[in-house]
Amino acid sequence: MQLRKRILSLSIVAALGVAGTASAQDAAPATQAAPADQTADEATDLDTVVVRGIRGAIQQSLDTKREASSHVEAVSAEDIGKLPAKNVADTLRELPGVNISSASASEGGFDEADRVSLRGTNPSLTQTTVNGHAVGTGDWFVLSQVQSVGRSVSYSLLPSEIVDQVVVHKTSEAKLVEGGSAGSVDIITRKPLQYADPFTASANIGAVYADLPGSTDPQFDALMNWQNAAGNLGVLVQGFYEKRSLRRDGQEVVGGYGVIGADAPVVQTNPDLAGVYYPNLLGAVLFEQERERKGGVIDVEFKASDSLTLDLNAFYSKLEADNYNRNFMMWTSQFANSQAPQPGYVVEGNVLKNAVYAPVNSTTVTPYGVYDMISRPGASSSSNFVALSADWQASDSLGFNFQAGTTKGKGSSPTQDVLETGLAGNAGASWNMNDIGEAIDWNLGGTNTPATHLPQNGWIFGGQGINVDDKEDWFAADGEYYANGSVLSSLDFGVRYAEHERGNDFEIAQGPNSAAWNDIASYAQYVGGAGHYPGDFGSGLGGNFPSGIWYYTPEQLRQINADFANRNNPERFYFSDVYSVNEKNSAAYVQANFAGDGWSGNVGLRYVKTDSDIGYTQALPVNSGIPGAITGSAFGDYLKVSTSNNYSEVLPSANLKFDLRDDMVLRLAASKTLTRPDYSALAGSLSLADLTHTGSGGNPNLNPLVSTNLDASFEWYFAPRALLSLSVFSMDLKDYIAFGNQTIQYKDQAASAAAGTDVYSDYLVSVPVNEDGKLTGYEVSYQQPLGEYFGIVANYTFADGELDDGRPLNGASRNTWNLSGYFENDKFSARVNYSFREAFYAGVSRTDAFYQDDFGTLSASVAYKATDWLTVSLDGLNLNDPEYSYYTSSPVGMLPYAMYSNGRQYYVNFRIKY
């Protein structure tokens, strides 16, 4: 047992400093963690105990978990190099209690993991840091930029190659940065002085083939690390460039479900149709995108003395994400209320599930369909930071770490070229609804050519000039006092100050520019060179619906918008998407760390104070005459409004760890944690009706979510690289952010103007509100080698949560599980993983509550070590071509809402090291 303990402790040091991917094998195990009197050669000798490959990576991650003072999960860089993972979120997919999603607003699922959440909560409740500090984030999708603006980080900006280790904190400590009520994810990057050799270089050169678009694109990253002869100065430089083509086939019920009114003309002949629901705006959706991710890392580390180490760390990542979305839709409301379906239609559960509408003999051209084409050239997101830190060992018993930095994320939609037209109809239509999770069969009669488009029944729309900034400047000072007491081992203390800003200050919402808009049909005749939906469109969705659909190219749309769109400022200034949130966050903490015979733990307090200024707009009637009203926008008059929202919280935490045996650990934890409200919840545009004292919008007076958390876990390390664990957890959620009606006092602009003084009144408004809720659950994790070369990793998480009024929690899947198997010898390694996530409430889209259905993803990785310096690997993601299905709630039950197929991706990679 003593030998096992010694190897275990050495492996922990290695885990904290492993370099990762191809270059990991050249790194020394964290020489900066060695005692001050230890030489570089002595530190390098520790490398002899490091086990390479999948098996070594699993052991390193288990050792990190075993020795941690709180409940954590860990993934090492070596493990990441053996996983089918292309960003940091992919690397966390296999961990118990971690949920992955590929969308942040209502854009539907894509083929790349984008958000991370913990234990059945939404991503905003998970704090993501890099080396312990915040990272500014951006979103490429326009709704995530200006409407559904959360607190979560976009992991599509964080390639897996930058990682040394990822640590997931499931229980809190006072010294951890606040912001994650459910937990936090800390991404640890490499440091130059952790490498064993004076010079290290590695490169990954490869390509990705995406089968749905049928294209192959390049992938590249390279790393160089240099140290001086004295081993006290190091420079690490890393760059990455990754391009990928994406095609997503989809079906959407964009307009939700309409209802045939009791007074509708069709009810006179078919009274059984009164109050019956039907799918409105049922669409065939083709989305295509080119994603180009590029950036890099630079780190300069200088050990000025045995007691002082300085580090400068900088990161930059940009995702260029030009995209083109087309939605060819049946416009059911145009005929469902006035025209009877043919005999044989089926009404089931008050839903018109099957209907056939015959062609109509009429000289009137009726738009039975509507067609949206939206091109977004220049859509992008980016993230960067610069951090300077100093580690100073002031004495044998006192050490300090100082850190200052700045980070900025950006989401941009500079242009949306859009054309919406009606489609000449009266050629008939039909649909047949199947079960939830299955595509709706439908057809729209007639032809789709420029001659059949009806611009007078469509529009030109789309926000322009959107640039959303997310930035933070911070300073932190942390200290640790090493006590000589028999029980108190050390005392951590520190302060942190940060100024955070998120906002969008400009948007033009274009529209048609004149009566010439109606001439677009004749203009379209000579554009030429248009495209068509692929012949295999929708093959991954099942069902029968239109394909081979004609569309304008992005270049043609750009010309049409140049000729026919009105983008004049201030006439088309769209104030509703303009917002700003400025926060000044101060924190101070103290944490006592204890250790005894077979036990350890910590108890701490963190004090957090937030002073926020929230800027948003209040819509007013045109020519309202309200003092201060800003006029000139076609969308009405408006006011710029600013509100302060200040609060403070004391967040206690306690962690206890009992070593029941050398191979058994029991953990108990309790804490209070805090998450600030989403930006869009605070700063949504406000619309008030002064006559009725009602309205809708954001709620700048929201309280932060404060969660009281309990956690207990048992870990049995019954063999090398083996673990059986059970965890139970509970979150008592106070002031969870939900949606509802609330009475809030606002300034009555009309009454104030008439009275000549400020008049405040109570308004009943539909806004985000604070509600209480609860989440409880458990996790089971098992992993074990099978013989010398094989192994298995499996885990299961159950999470049961709801608001006190019975409504569901956003993002709460009751059941998730992962199953992985691996093989590894001296030359070959292979890994296969299947992840499953049960259905969950996904939010609100166009006022409709919607849910994402069950889905599972299958991925695999195979590698061959050709030489000591060359490894060839093949990765496959989404090998089962998962279908992402959504459904919406209605008074008659759950109804199909949307579904998407993204195809499979295959990566070939050559890893070269020197």
pLDDT tops 90 at residue 376: yes
Write down the residue that tokens 């990057």 correspond to.
Answer: 189
Provide the 8-state DSSP code for 188.
E
Distance from CA of residue 625 to its chain's centroid? 43
Q: List pLDDT tens digits, range 85-143.
A: 788 888 888 899 998 888 776 788 898 888 999 998 889 999 999 999 999 999 999 98
Least reliable range by pLDDT among 2-16, 289-303, 643-657, 755-769: 2-16
In a domain, 383, yes or no: yes
Taking phi first (over 0 means left), then psi (-120 to 50 degrees means alpha), and beta for anything else, what does residue 232 get? Answer: alpha
Helix 53-67 vs helix 2-17: angle between axes, to the nearest 10 degrees?
Answer: 100
Q: How confident is the model at residue 427 (pLDDT cuts 50, 70, 90)?
A: confident
Termini Cα distance of the chain: 37
In a domain, 461, yes or no: no
Check residue 41 and give its pLDDT: 36
Q: Which tops the pLDDT comparison, 636 or 130?
A: 130
* Stretch 314-334: mean pLDDT: 95
Q: What percent of the chain has pLDDT over 70?
A: 90
pLDDT tops 50 at residue 370: yes
- CB count within 10 Å of CB 510 equals 23
User: CA nearest 411: which of 339, 325, 470?
Assistant: 470
For 681, list phi and psi in degrees, rounded to 5.
-70, -35
Check residue 538 and give its pLDDT: 93
In a domain, 84, yes or no: yes
pLDDT tops 80 at residue 468: yes
Least reliable range by pLDDT among 118-127, 731-740, 748-757, 816-825: 748-757
Q: Which amino acid is at 441?
A: D
For 49, list phi and psi in degrees, rounded to 5.
-95, 0
Indicate the pairing of strand 599-620 with strand 550-551: unpaired
- Contact between 116 and 127 under an 8 Å Cβ cutoff? The reply is no
pLDDT tops 50 at residue 743: yes
Question: Is the bond into 570 cis (omega within 30 degrees of 0)?
Answer: yes
Question: Residue 146 sits in a domain of what CATH number?
Answer: 2.40.170.20
Q: List pLDDT tens digits, range 802-821.
A: 999 998 998 889 999 999 99
SS (H, E, C) 821-860: EEEECCCEEEEEEEEEECCEEEEEECCEEEEECCEEEEEE
In a domain, 528, yes or no: yes
Which of 521-535, 550-564, 703-717: highest mean pLDDT? 703-717
Report the SS3 class of residue 515.
Answer: helix
- CB count within 10 Å of CB 756 equals 8
Q: How confident is the model at residue 19 (pLDDT cuts 50, 70, 90)?
A: very low
Which of 151-155, 496-500, 595-599: highest mean pLDDT? 496-500
Q: List pLDDT tens digits, range 474-509.
A: 999 999 999 977 799 999 999 999 999 999 999 999
Check residue 526 and give its pLDDT: 52
How many Cα atoms within 13 Å fall on the side-chain side of residue 585?
24
User: CA nearest 733: which of 778, 689, 776?
Assistant: 776
* Stretch 686-698: mean pLDDT: 76
Q: How confident is the model at residue 22 (pLDDT cuts 50, 70, 90)?
A: very low
CA–CA distance, 156 with 318 (Å, rounded to integer): 10
Q: Which tops the pLDDT comparison, 436 or 259?
A: 259
Q: List pLDDT tens digits, range 26-78.
A: 333 333 333 333 333 333 333 333 345 778 888 888 999 999 999 999 988 76
User: How far from 516 is each of 10, 14, 455, 525, CA to CA, in Å?
Assistant: 76, 70, 10, 15
Check residue 363 and give its pLDDT: 53
Indicate the Cα dihedral angle 76, 194, 187, 705, nearest 10°: 120
Q: Give the domain extent around 83.
A: 2-455+470-913
Beta-bridge partner residues of 314: 298, 386
In a domain, 464, yes or no: no
In a domain, 275, yes or no: yes
Report the SS3 class of residue 881.
Answer: coil
Number of domains in the chain: 1
Averaged confidence pLDDT in the chain? 88
In a domain, 460, yes or no: no
